[in-house]
Structure 1
Amino acid sequence: MGVVISPAVAELYVQYSTGLMLVVGVITLIATLLIRAPYGRYASRKWGPMFDARLAWFLQESPAFWVPQLVMYDQYLALGGMGELLRSLHPCAWILLLFFQLHYFQRAVIYPLCRMPASATPVPLTVSMLAFLFCLWNGLQQSLALVYVVKYDDSWMLGQPFFRLGMTLAFLGMFLNIHSDSILLNLRNAGESAGGKATASTRYHLQSRERSAFSSLISVVKRRIDGEQERGRSRSPRPANGARQRKRLGSPGTKAGGSSPKSAASEKEYKIPYGGLFEYTSAANLTAEILEWGGFAIAACSLPAAAFAWYTFSNIGPRGHHHHQWYLKKFGEAYPKHRKAVIPFIW
């Protein structure tokens, strides 16, 4: 029995929490099919104040990393030593717990603080708060289930193929998720260094550091020249001429000094990602995460893990569908026709 958490309380929480997550997954699936989740390219100020994406990801994903550690610390205090704590759980439970925390360490620390560029689209406060609450909820559900509720033995680890198959799929999904994120980050970096021009060569842009550095230098020079020209036009003392005034104000429906974009997509240049899982789906990073948590559920063979896998699909599956439709609308005939949205060859 833990110092704060008793097995009876943990079992009751996991039971009701799992049922609630299954129901919320259905509601989320319907809602996200009808409404595009307002973050990333769909971010909008209508959903509240916007703040730095790196800070948002760090704060919203971190509960799923530190909540399991608090649960384990409670067990450590109750059992009176590290040796007793290590022996209290089967290796299957330890592997699943460590995998869960590894994913969220990568998601909350490595990805936003080490890899995400400063130019990443800000996140609405409402979206970040909802993500924080879910990670808090799910982190407690998965850790309590593995520590107190679900029991494993050696036959599950060695005699049945499900644990090994599930963990193989989970690690494969994690690798593909990180790889897909890398493709998107490299594409964004290539776009910024190339001045936002979408060309066929961008998929190979980062193969040569010399070419990247040269392109960066050219883009900096070009931006300086464009900036000087723009400042020169803004200093012009003759705004009375109708044609010049219209040129300065821009096209109808825009404000002087630039447009007022409603979403991140109108502010940035996007390109078609190639390579890896992107050859099969438009939302390869989301496909990989669905695979990852599906494998986790197979390895855990528990309803709490299955509920999490279901919620993951219901939350990001429709987002992948929206990505696919967005790519088709933006790039038209140039977009690869064989790609599906989320599930290769199917959807």
Structure 2
Amino acid sequence: MQYKNKAKFIYLGIVISFLLVFFINIGVQMNIPYSSRAFLEYQIVPVYSKVSESVENIFVKNGDYVSIGQPLFEVDKNIYIAQYTSALGQYNEVLDSIKNLKNDIEKNKVLVSKNKVLVEQNKKELLKYKKLFDKKYINELDYEAMNTKLIESEKILKESQNTLNNLLVKYKKEEESTPQLLIAEGALKKAEINLKNTTILSPISGEVVMDNFYQNTLIKQDTTLFYVKNDNILTVNVDLKEKNLKSITKGREALIVFDGISQQVIKGKIEKITSVLVEGFSTSNTLVDITDDNRWVRDPGKIRVSITIENSNLIKNLSSGSKASVILLSESNNIFYDALAKLWINIIRVFNYVY
């Protein structure tokens, strides 16, 4: 009987221990999410040229610190100067043609007015000639000559009106919408942009990371040549389980251990939570890829979380992409969960160092 009671207590103890570990495990996963698949990311921006030509001058070297907008290098601009000069000439030529068209219109308006006056005068003269002809004061030859003069003046008026109408069709009251001017302006703007792009400026402030970049090298448009990195803005990206989404909030504190400096525990804060999962989109020309999984419990979804390092000077000797383990401290500053988080990250720190 005594052994049976002991056995009951042992079984009860096992069950309670199992349930205790089970619920602690759930509480830990829900309150202090952990992942060993984090990586360091520098702010790195590629440097490229928007025009193709040979490199003429290089103003910086590898390791130099540059400010945003600072000239890095320039390409041979002679051909782009020539293109700009040609485009400027064509633009001015179109402006002159519009100006000449306006002058021609004004001249033809005056001419049409004069021809109208002349036609009216000839009509009045013809009436006088008709009266004189009816009274036999002039002969038929003089009358017909006046009639011919009227017909000729009407013909000249019609020709001048047609010329004016043709000029008005070519001219637009809103000169800036003239097709030839728009084409010339576009060509001039493009040439101006290309000429401006012959000097390549730094996209951000940071350190130049340059390798095998020399003067007189022929470069292609939109091809990455080297990089500028800013190691004052360092973030750690980690994919955490989607079920923790409610508790993963901006500003929540995290503890990080990098493989490269596993003897240190680094502090950070959540800066951004990405709202799109890897499986959250598909291209327009394909169907959504639904994974065929026979597991009883499927893998949980993951969300990308970006964590800003509090003291970036501690990890500036690490390379971008360095691996790390991350655990979040409890959202409500729970002493028990925070203690477990610190204990676990230190265990990981020791194992990372040994392993």
Report the TM-score, using the length of structure 1 for normalisation: 0.22
Of the two, which has the highest radius of gyration? 2
- Choose between structure 1 and 2: higher helix proportion: 1
Report the TM-score, using the length of structure 2 for normalisation: 0.21
